[in-house]
């Protein structure tokens, strides 16, 4: 029988997209439960043209639920995931709470679907950069093992939630009116600016929490626990799609043509690589799209050995970076 699905954090930036993904993909539903904070209880969200009433999340919310999609932050996941599992639900968790737990699979369906088999009630949905990057890296890695990765990211507001997206809109409007704007959600002015990712900074290493997560999760998803990864994560004034420059070193020479063929045939990817038109992946084209865009595939002239390629990737943070990947995991659960 069709599963009863709960969305925890249904009113959030990701929660709303979870609802849209379930709707647009025709996910078979035996019932739908929308959960959020008491502030939202009693309000409604539309699903297939019908209003569904939002309930306040409690430990009792999961009776009869088969699949619980969590997207209300780590604190809520840590506090309520156990109650959901106890009630018999499988949790697909979008937060970072359990991603590095050995008995919690960290899954990108195009990359490591098989790892789902070992789950014990909780499955982790990766960090958005790790999910989007590995969709592009895994097909290359399968053909030619990756020896080293260097990444610079250009991350959208959506990764910091609906309030950060609103702050980008409001601060941009204020800037254009010539008014001053005091940031409330993000630590720095966002309009016509960019800044080092706002995750907690480790003063000792100089790396922030986003960078640390992307490194650890990329290694885990690719199954390369020792892969050397250098990374700089930057927040840019884009609403909902992340972009990233990836420099990938292989064990052997990989030609641009080979890389194009591999990436052009890989699931979840779309090649956008038109040198003549100077047309490459852009957040504006990636926004609202399920596919991750990949292009600017070229030899990295910074590596004289010829064994490195440079790529540019863009993917919708709210879709492949969050909601879509979670719903794809739920679809894999149904198949099993």
Chain residues in the site for ligand A2P (CB under 6 A): 9-13, 15, 36-37, 39-40, 57, 72-73, 76, 161-163
128 given a catalytic annotation: yes
Least distance to ligand A2P, CB of residue 41, Å: 8
How far apart CA 162 and CA 15 sit, in angstroms, is 10
Least distance to ligand A2P, CB of residue 183, Å: 16
Catalytic residue, candidates 119, 141, 197, 242: 242
How far apart CA 33 and CA 66 sit, in angstroms, is 11
Least distance to ligand A2P, CB of residue 186, Å: 12
Cβ atoms of 89 and 65 within 8 Å: the answer is yes
141 given a catalytic annotation: no
Cβ atoms of 187 and 236 within 8 Å: the answer is no
Residue 157 DSSP label: G
Sign of torsion over alpha carbons 137, 228, 200, 243:
negative
Contacts of 318 (CB under 8 A, 6+ apart): 13, 14, 17, 158, 240
Cβ distance to ligand A2P smaller for residue 128 or 231: 128
How far apart CA 12 and CA 307 sit, in angstroms, is 43
Cβ distance to ligand A2P smaller for residue 13 or 222: 13
| Residue bearing tokens 């990108």 | 108
Cβ distance to ligand A2P smaller for residue 70 or 154: 70
Cβ distance to ligand A2P smaller for residue 9 or 281: 9
Catalytic residue, candidates 119, 128, 197, 233: 128
Minimal CB distance residue for ligand A2P: 12
Least distance to ligand A2P, CB of residue 6, Å: 11
Question: Which residues are identified as catalytic?
Answer: 128, 242
């Amino acid at each position: 029988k069709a599963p009863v699905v709960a969305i925890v954090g249904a009113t959030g930036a990701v929660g709303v997209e979870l609802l849209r993904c379930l709707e647009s993909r025709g996910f078979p539903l035996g019932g739908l439960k929308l959960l959020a904070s008491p502030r939202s209880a009693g309000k409604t969200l539309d699903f297939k043209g019908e209003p569904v009433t939002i309930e306040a999340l409690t430990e009792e919310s999961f009776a009869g639920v088969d699949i619980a999609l969590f997207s209300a932050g780590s604190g809520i996941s840590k506090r309520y995931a156990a109650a959901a599992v106890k009630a018999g639900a499988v949790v697909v968790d979008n937060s970072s709470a359990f991603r590095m737990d050995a008995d919690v699979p960290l899954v990108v369906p195009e990359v490591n679907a098989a790892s789902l088999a070992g789950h014990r009630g909780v499955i982790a949905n990766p960090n958005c950069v790790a999910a989007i990057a590995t969709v592009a890296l895994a097909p290359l890695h399968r053909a030619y093992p990756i020896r080293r990765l260097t990444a610079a990211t250009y991350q959208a507001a959506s990764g910091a939630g609906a309030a950060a997206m609103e702050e980008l809109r409001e601060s941009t409007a204020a800037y254009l009116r010539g008014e001053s704007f005091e940031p409330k959600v993000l630590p720095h002015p966002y309009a016509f600016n960019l800044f080092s990712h706002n995750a907690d900074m480790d003063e000792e290493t100089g790396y922030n929490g986003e960078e640390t997560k992307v490194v650890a999760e990329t290694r885990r998803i690719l199954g390369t626990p020792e892969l050397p990864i250098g990374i700089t994560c930057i927040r840019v004034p884009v609403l909902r799609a992340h972009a990233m420059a990836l420099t990938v070193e292989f064990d052997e020479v990989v030609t641009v043509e080979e890389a194009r063929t591999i990436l052009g045939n890989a699931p979840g990817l779309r090649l956008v690589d038109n040198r003549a038109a100077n047309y490459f992946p852009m957040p504006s084209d990636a926004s609202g799209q399920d596919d991750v865009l990949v292009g600017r595939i070229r030899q990295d002239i910074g590596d004289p050995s010829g064994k490195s390629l440079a790529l540019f990737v863009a993917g919708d943070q709210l879709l492949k970076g969050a909601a879509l990947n979670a719903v794809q995991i739920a679809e894999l659960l149904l198949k099993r």
